Amino acid sequence: MEQTAIQEMINEFNKELNVATQIGNEDKIRITKHLINIASKYLEMEEKYIIEAFEEGDWCNYQKTDITGKDYYQLNFKSE
């Protein structure tokens, strides 16, 4: 499954958080958690933009499919 740019950024922040936790750097832990929270808010926006772009594009007409933008996002980017 692919990842969006924001998902990849959150993964990188989580790696940094793990390192900071291992070395006990409280300042870096706090800052990195804050960055993860900010990025998570943008992840919701990014999902909305991807869905809208899919639905406004010609993909649905070209493929002659009933797939929705939400379906497209779930199939390609949702990691649960």
The series of mean pLDDT values per 10 residues for the chain, 80 residues long, is: 92 97 96 97 93 79 74 83
Closest CA to 73 of 12, 5, 4: 4
Give me the phi and psi of 72, to 5 degrees please. -60, -45
Q: Compute the distance between CA of residue 12 and CA of residue 19 in angstroms, rounded to an integer.
A: 11
pTM of this structure? 0.77
Check the CA dihedral 70-76-79-80 and report its sign: positive
The per-residue pLDDT for 19 is 97
